[in-house]
Amino acid sequence: MHLHTRLSKVMALALLVPAVLTLITTAILTTILTTILPGRALAGPTLLFEAQSGRVLYAEGLDDQWHPASLTKMMTAYLTFQALKTGKLKLETQIIYSEAAQAQPPSKIGLPVGATISVDLALQSIIVKSANDIAVALAEAIGGSEAQFVEAMNATARRLGMSRTVFRNPHGLPAAEQVSTARDLARLATAVVRDFPQYAHYWGQSQMQVGAVKIVSHNGLFKTLPGVDGMKTGFICDSGYNVVASATRDGVRLMAVVLGEMSAADRNLRAHSLIEHGFATMGWKILFGAKDTIATMPVPRDAKDAASIRESVIATECNNRRVARAAAVARQRIKARNRAAAAAKRAAQKGNAAAAKAATAPKGAAKAAGTTAKKPPAVAPAKASVASKAVPAATGGSAAPR
């Protein structure tokens, strides 16, 4: 009985390690960035909701306007699905790659002018690769011209209740007037999965194949979030790192909209944490509150207009080498701590396994097993200590070049 109690305590402690490390990570990065960029807000609009009912589980700045970046392509995909539904297009339809498509900056597929691409591959390209050139090709094929397609985007946004959204292009590249909100993007994400469930596999693709080239999604949650359904990422310097993320567990689907994070890692961490929090707390939130839905939650009077956060974003292409460098150093240190903690956790698990084996062994064998079970804990701390001492030295070395 005493052994089981001790094992339970050790296992509980091991489960707390990731949560503590997440808090440390966030605290360190926030401290660094607020030191470099005093007075600048680091958190963008955020929304967590249950997909079927629209019940809001968490919201922050949900009606503040923001540049959607490549989240725009969710609307481009929605209109493509509509064209498939009406029969205007088929998945095997070949659409033409125009000069206007080729003129788009990366991310892109990069075909020769006059080449064709199937609608099926085009959808994969805008969702998995986030290809700006293919978004234009689809817009021209569906709307007749990019301008007419954008008109259809805005008409559809109004029909879906996206009252604070304006589209100016089909891909999300910088345009001062192209804005949306966390609530509006939640409405769009809900409409996509509700109206076109037969195309859910596109959002859940973590990679695609173009000829001999394998292209991997920008969405890092495919590697870390249990039950992830995918959805869409977006980034331009003015918006920071955006994502609409979705995960389903035991028949319940939660969606998170995260806008304006400072790096891709921050975006992934924020979305992952929100969804995990949602699954962990949804039961009691529904019981004691959380009655508002995306449709019924009142619009705050102080909802803000869009503004660029270019100066805060951790990306060298946004001319913020100093910020990117400082964040990179901080991340290397955090990775070192994570590796040390992981080594300690593995050592603890080995010790627990040996102790559990001793506890369940027959009386004759228990004595021998007990002797064996005591050895790993004595060795394990030494391994963890070596990892925690050796890794920071390597980290410092790798972070030294500037």
pLDDT digits (tens, 9 = 90+) for 15-53: 444 444 544 544 454 444 444 433 334 569 999 999 999
Among 25-39, 74-88, 169-183, 357-371, the range scoring the smallest mean pLDDT is 25-39
CB 173 within 8 A of CB 154: no
pLDDT value at position 346?
Answer: 82
Contacts of residue 165, Cβ cutoff 8 Å, sequence gap at least 6: 68, 154, 157, 179, 180, 181, 184
Instruction: Tell me which of 98, 107, 125, 130 is the catalytic residue.
Output: 130
The pLDDT value recorded for residue 286 is 74
In this prediction, residue 156 carries a pLDDT of 98
What pTM was estimated for this model as a whole? 0.72
Q: What is the mean pLDDT of the chain?
A: 81
Q: What is the pLDDT of residues 81-123, one digit of tens each?
A: 999 999 999 999 999 999 999 999 999 999 999 999 999 999 9
pLDDT confidence bin for 339, thresholds 50/70/90: confident
Which pLDDT score is estimated for 370? 44
Give the number of C-alpha atoms closer than 13 A to the C-alpha of residue 51, restricted to the C-beta side.
Answer: 26
Provide, rounded to the nearest whole percent, the portion of the chain with pLDDT above 90.
63
| pLDDT: which is higher, 393 or 157 | 157
pLDDT at 293 over 60: yes
Contact 173, 73 (CB under 8 A): no
pLDDT at 288: 78
pLDDT of res. 329: 61
* Location of structure tokens 């306007």: 65
Lowest-confidence segment of 23-32, 106-115, 146-155, 380-389 by average pLDDT = 380-389
Burial 163-182 (b: 16+ CB within 10 A, else e): ebbbbbbbbbbbbeebbbbb
SS3 214: strand
Contacts of 180 (CB under 8 A, 6+ apart): 65, 66, 67, 68, 71, 162, 164, 165, 166
Rounded to 5 degrees, what angle do the CA atoms 86, 87, 91 make?
120
Using the predicted structure, report yes or no on whether residue 229 has a pLDDT greater than 90. yes
Q: Looking at the predicted structure, is the pLDDT value of residue 393 above 50?
A: no
Neighbours of 339 (CB within 10 A): 17
Would the pLDDT of 295 be above 90?
Answer: yes
Phi and psi based region of residue 144 (left: phi greater than 0; alpha: psi -120 to 50; beta: remaining):
left
The more confident residue out of 342 and 3 is 342
Residue 207 pLDDT: 96
Would the pLDDT of 11 be above 50?
no
Domain boundaries in the chain?
A: 2-26+330-399, 41-308
DSSP class of residue 179 equals B
The fold for domain 41-308 equals Beta-lactamase (3.40.710)
Q: Which two tokens stand for residue 123?
A: 């959808």
Q: What is the band of 330 on the pLDDT scale with cuts at 50, 70, 90? A: low
- Band of residue 253 on the pLDDT scale cut at 50, 70, 90: very high
Indicate the pLDDT class of residue 371, thresholds 50, 70 and 90. very low
Catalytic-residue membership of 70: yes
Q: Which of 4-13, 121-130, 237-246, 316-325 has the lowest mean pLDDT?
A: 4-13
Q: Catalytic annotation on 163? A: no
What single-letter DSSP state applies at residue 93?
A: P
Predicted pLDDT at 358? 67
Q: Is 323's pLDDT higher than 70?
A: no
Tell which wins on pLDDT, 2 or 113.
113
pLDDT beyond 80 at 202: yes
Q: Phi then psi for 241, rounded to 5 degrees?
A: -95, 120
Average pLDDT over residues 360-382: 46
Q: Which residue has the higher pLDDT, 187 or 315?
A: 187
pLDDT at 42: 55
Q: Is there a catalytic annotation at residue 335?
A: no
